[in-house]
Amino acid sequence: MTADAIRALGRKAHVYECDISVKGSLDSLIPRILADHSTIEILVNCAGIQRRVPAEAFSQDILDEIMQTNLGAPFTLCREVGRFWIENGIKGRIINLGSLACFQGGVNMSGYAVSKGGIAMLTKALSNEWASKGIRANVIAPGYIATDMNIDTRTNPDTTYRDSITQRIPMGRWGDADDFKGVVIFLASKASSYVTGEIIAVDGGWLAR
């Protein structure tokens, strides 16, 4: 667990459980955090789900689940944390996790593409409104990363699809969590003090291909 890894480094970590796929579940989250801590300085929205379904068969229930998890919840958290920052004169940083779907529509993933395209535009809109207040908002767009979301693809005995992806990545491999350490620290720190409204791809060169 991430919290255990943080604590093993001698740091403090507090975990607050919340089902972001359920509307209204976020109502008490920020007050709970602020009850334990005096402030929030950095917001990272990184939860996401994917459902591969042809567009003509995409049910409303599946669409609603994806949109709430991937876009609705991040919008709510950005709004609530952003309001707290504005009211208290805090120069906060928002880091939203996008996807290659911020740039590409993909196949059989129309709901996911809409949600991640929305994340890109939400971040730009927030940057336009809040940059003058010292609040920065940026997107990290991962490429093909080894996560639970794609474990079926990565463990499928038929490697045809997986191999086709790997062969297109100029670096010749899928990414992993360690590949995000640098860009997250950069966007969360003063090193990126003049960077806002940007979408930074971490994709092993996929988009440049």
Residue 170 lies in a domain: yes
Identify the band that residue 154 occupies on the pLDDT scale cut at 50, 70 and 90. Answer: confident
Burial 170-204 (b: 16+ CB within 10 A, else e): eeeebbeeebbeebbebbbeeebeeebbbbbbbbb
| Mean pLDDT along residues 188-208 | 98
Identified catalytic residue from 16, 112, 161, 194 = 112
Domain coverage including residue 50:
42-208
Domain contains 115: yes
Cα–Cα distance, 113 to 98 (Å, whole number): 10
What is the domain-level CATH number for residue 166?
A: 3.40.50.720
Mean pLDDT for the chain overall:
95
Name 201's bridge partners. Answer: 141
Q: Is 144 noted as a catalytic residue in this protein? A: no
Phi-psi domain of 2 (left: phi exceeds 0; alpha: psi -120 through 50; beta: other): alpha
Q: Among 25-34, 96-105, 150-159, 173-182, where is mean pLDDT lowest?
A: 150-159
Nearest one of 72, 59, 71 to 102, comparing CA atoms = 71
Q: Using one digit for the tens of pLDDT, what is the confidence trace for 12-23?
A: 999 999 999 998
Tell me the average pLDDT across 117-134.
98
Query: How far is it, in rounded angstroms, from Cα 101 to Cα 60?
Result: 20
- Nearest to 200, CA basis, from 129, 190, 188: 188
Q: 58 lies in a domain? A: yes
Mind listing the pLDDT tens digit for each residue in 51-86? Answer: 999 999 999 999 999 999 999 999 999 999 999 999
Number of structural domains in the chain: 1
In a domain, residue 201? The reply is yes
Within a domain: residue 9?
A: no
